[in-house]
Amino acid sequence: MSLHLSYRADPGNPWFSWQYVRDNSDTILAALREHTWLTARAVVIAALVALPLAVLAYWFRSLSAPILAVTGVLYTVPSLALFAFLAPYLGIGAITVLTVVALYALLVIVRNALAGLTQVPPEVREAAEGMGYGRWGRLLRIELPLALPGILTGVRLATVSTVALVTVGVVVGRGGLGQLIFAGFQNNFYKAQIMTGTVLCVLLALVLDLVLAGVGRLLTPWLRGRSAR
Amino acid sequence: MNPVEQAVVWLNDPLNWTNPGGVLDRLGEHLSMSALAVLLGCLVAWPIGLWLGHSGRGGGLVLLVSNVTLAIPTLALLTILPLTFLGFGRPAVVVALAVFAVPPLLANAYTGVRQADPEARDAARGMGLSGGQVLRRVELPLAVPYLAAGFRTAAVQVVATAALASFVNGGGLGQIIRAGFGLDIAAGGGQIIAGGVLVAGLALLVEGLLAVVERVVTPRPLRRVRRRANRRATAATTGG
C-alpha cells in the first residue's frame, strides 16, 4: 500500500504518510510523551498554587482585586516575552517551559476558581454558618464542593491551552510535539512531519479534555441528577 | 554584568533601534501584520457573528470555533499555512494570526446582538422595520460595546501572537528575541530580555489604548449600563 502510494504522482511531500509515522515512531512517541508529561506537571502545579490563591482572594476581599489585576496583566504578556524573561535565569531546558506554561495555567485556574467560589449562594453560606461550621469546615464541606464546576472548567481550559502553549517551548528546544512541527518546517518543509505533530497535539488536547470532563462528572454526581431531570 | 543590565545597555544603543532589522523596523512589521490580521478577522467574524446573533442560530457553532482554535497550536498554523496555496511570506502569517482573532470577535458580535433588549426589537418590528433594518438600526448600535470589547481582546491576542511569527522568519519584534536565543544565553541574554520587554510593553500598551477606545465608542447611555454591569461583576467577584 505504502509502496503503491510512494511511487505515485507526488513523490516527495505528502500531507500525511504512514511511512513517516512507522519509520519515526520512536521520535514521535518520545515527543508525545514529553508533551503529555510537561502538560500534566504544569497543570497539577498550577492547580496546587491556584486553589489556595483563589481561596485567599475569596476570604480576604481586599486581596481579590490585586490578585485579579496581577493575573490579568500577566495574561496579557505574550508567551514568547515570558520565555525571554525567564530563560536567562532558568536556562535552556524543560524547567523554563514548565514555568511559563504553569504560569499561564495558573491565571486561568485562579479566575475560574474564584468565579466558582463567589457563585456560592449567600443563603447557603449563612445556613452553613448557622449550623456551626467554622471557616475551614465551611470551605471544605460546602464552598469548595459547590465551586467544583467552576474549578473544573478552569482546569479544563488551562489544560487545553497548555497543550497548545507547550509548542512555543521550541524556543528553548523543549517544545514536545512542537519540536516535531518545527523540525518538519526546517527539514525542507516536510509536510508529513508537521501534520503528524499538529494532529497529535490537537488529539492530545481533546483526549485530556474528555478525560477531565469525565472526572468532573464523577466528582459532581449531584449535577448529573439535576440535568437529567 | 547580569542579564538585566545587559538588556538596559542593549536598549540604550541607538544602533539597535535604527539599524536595518532593528527595533523600529521590527515594530513596523509587527504593527502592520497585526493590523492586517485584525482587519481580516473583523471582515470575516463580524458579519457572521452579527448575522448568527440576529437569526438566533449557531450559538453552538460560535462555541465550537472558540474551543477548536484554543486547541490548535499557533506554531502549527504558522508552519502549515505557508505550505498551502498562500505561499511563503506575509499573507500566510497574516491569515494564521487572523484565525486567532476570530473567536473573540465572533463570540462578542454574537452575544452583543443576542443581548439586545427583546422589547426594543419587538418595538422596531412593530414600527415596520424589516429584519435587515432591525439589525442595522437597533441591534447593531446596542451591540457596539460588545463589538469594542471583542475588538480589544482580539487585537491584544494578535499583537501577542505576532511575536511567534519569528519562528517562521515572519518578522516582528519576536525576531529580536529569536536572534538573542541564536546568540546563546550568555551573549544574548540582554538582547533576549530587551526583546521580551518590547514585546510585552507593546501588548500592554495596545491593551491600555484599546481600553480607552472601548470607553469612547460606547455611547453615553450604554456606558452607564456598562459601568453598572462592571460594578455588578466586581461586586460578584468581591462577594459583596
Average pLDDT over residues A100-116: 90
Looking at the partner chain, which of B80, B181, B193 has a beta carbon nearest the beta carbon of A194? B80
Is residue A16 very low, low, confident or very high in pLDDT (cuts 50, 70, 90)? confident
CB within 8 A of A59, min separation 6: which ones?
A: A135
Q: How many residues does chain A have?
A: 229
pLDDT in tens, B170-206: 888 888 888 888 877 777 778 888 888 999 999 999 9
Cell numbers representing residue A143 in the block: 464552598
Residue of B nearest to A203 (CA): B71
- Nearest CA to A105 out of A58, A35, A47, A52 is that of A47
Closest Cα in chain B to A172: B181
Is pLDDT of B237 > 60?
no
Please state, as a whole number, how many other Cβ atoms lie within 10 Å of the Cβ of residue B162.
Answer: 33
A contacts of B161 (beta carbons < 8 Å) = 78
Q: Which of A124-133, A183-192, B185-194, B229-238 has the highest mean pLDDT?
A: A124-133
**A191 with B83: Cβ contact below 8 A:** yes
With cell 467574524, the residue in question is B45
Sequence-separated (6 or more) residues with CB below 8 Å from residue A227: none
Per-residue pLDDT band at A203 (split at 50, 70, 90): very high
pLDDT tens digits along B112-143: 888 888 888 888 888 888 888 888 888 888 88
Write down the pLDDT at residue B131.
Answer: 83
Q: Which amino acid is at A46?
A: A
CB B96 within 8 A of CB B81: yes
Domain positions in chain B are 3-238
The CATH T-level fold of domain B3-238 is MetI-like fold (1.10.3720)
Q: State CA A76 to chain mean position distance.
A: 17
Q: What is the pLDDT of residues A26-74, one digit of tens each?
A: 888 999 999 999 999 999 999 999 999 999 998 888 888 888 888 888 8
Contact A202 B72 (CB under 8 A): yes
* Amino acid, res. B217: V
Give residue B20's pLDDT band: very low, low, confident or very high (50, 70, 90): confident
Cα B233 to Cα B226: distance, rounded to the nearest angstrom: 10
Q: Which residues contact B75 (CB under 8 A, 6 or more apart)?
A: A167, A168, A170, A175, A178, A181, A182, B164, B167
pLDDT confidence of residue A3: 46
Residue A30 in grid coordinates:
518520545
Burial degree of A88 (CB within 10 A; 0-12, 13-18, 19+): buried
A205-214, A220-229, B8-17, B212-221 — which one is most confidently predicted on average?
A205-214
Q: Is the pLDDT of residue A159 over 90?
A: yes
| pLDDT value at A86 more than 80 | yes
CB-CB neighbors (< 8 A) of A82 in chain B: 196, 200
Q: Which of these, B23, B26, B15, lies nearest to B169 by C-alpha position?
A: B26
Q: What pLDDT, on the 0 to 100 scale, is given for residue A229? A: 44
pLDDT in tens, B21-43: 788 888 988 999 999 999 999 99
Q: What is the ipTM of this complex?
A: 0.80
**pLDDT on residue B226:** 59
Q: How far apart are alpha carbons A179 and A15 in whole angstroms?
A: 18
Q: What is the pLDDT of residue B225?
A: 58
B41-to-B70, B94, B155 alpha-carbon distances in Å: 16, 10, 10
Per-residue pLDDT at A61: 84
- Whether the CB of B230 is below 8 Å from some CB of chain A: the reply is no
Chain B, 75 to 114: residues with Cβ < 8 Å from chain A are 75-76, 79-80, 82-83
Distance from C-alpha of B62 to C-alpha of B110, rounded to nearest angstrom = 8
Residues of A in contact with B9 (CB under 8 A): none
Structural domains in chain A, CATH included, are 33-221 (1.10.3720.10)
A64 touches chain B (CB under 8 A): yes
What pLDDT was estimated at residue A10? 54
Smallest CA-to-CA distance from A180 within A197, A166, A199, A200 is with A197
> For residue B72, what pLDDT is reported?
87
Sole residue written with cell 473583523: B42
Kindly state the average pLDDT of the residues B70-93: 85
Contact status of B11 with chain A (Cβ, < 8 Å):
no
- Three cell numbers written together for A84: 525571554
| pLDDT at B12 (0 to 100) | 79
